[in-house]
Amino acid sequence: MKTFDALFAELLDRASERPEGSGTVEALDAGVHAQGKKLLEEAGEVWIAAEHESDEALALEISQLLYRAQVIMIGRGIGLEQVYKHL
Ligand SMILES: N=c1c2ncn([C@@H]3O[C@H](COP(=O)(O)OP(=O)(O)OP(=O)(O)O)[C@@H](O)[C@H]3O)c2ncn1[C@@H]1O[C@H](COP(=O)(O)O)[C@@H](O)[C@H]1O
């Protein structure tokens, strides 16, 4: 099972290798404004799922929110340690 740290390492690799067809490369290239809109969209979907949907649907939306947060981190060049020190 993939962890938050493992996904982050994978996305860093996508950012440096820039493989054809990577949604992450596309999201990074779209810039921080588009990345922020996606993050907010996913946050809204998490809220709706928490109020109205199944545990599995909620878990899926949360995974997408975590992914979108990581895209913003990588876009800005922020590492995991910088975030973890605030936890
Ligand atoms: N975990 C994710 C992940 N979560 C969410 N998403 C993206 O977010 C989309 C879901 O968001 P929406 O609910 O807005 O669905 P949508 O409106 O149909 O999506 P869009 O048309 O807006 O892209 C998915 O279709 C993916 O494009 C993700 N894209 C990639 N990953 C993982 O990131 C890694 C690298 O992925 P690539 O860069 O695509 O190779 C792989 O391990 C992937 O599993």
Give the whole-angstrom CA distance, residue 67 versus residue 2.
Answer: 12
For a mutational test of ligand 1's pocket, the pick from 64, 65, 71, 72, i.e. the residue with the most ligand atoms closer than 8 A to its C-beta, is: 64
pTM over 0.80: yes
What ipTM does this complex have? 0.91
pLDDT score for 40: 98
Residue numbers of the domain that contains 33: 4-85
- Quote the ligand 1 centre to 87 CA distance (angstroms): 26
Give the whole-angstrom CA distance, residue 58 versus residue 52.
Answer: 9
Question: pLDDT (tens digit, 9 = 90+) per residue, 33-84?
Answer: 999 999 999 999 999 999 999 999 999 999 999 999 999 999 999 999 999 9
How many domains, in total, are found in the chain? 1
pLDDT score for 4: 97
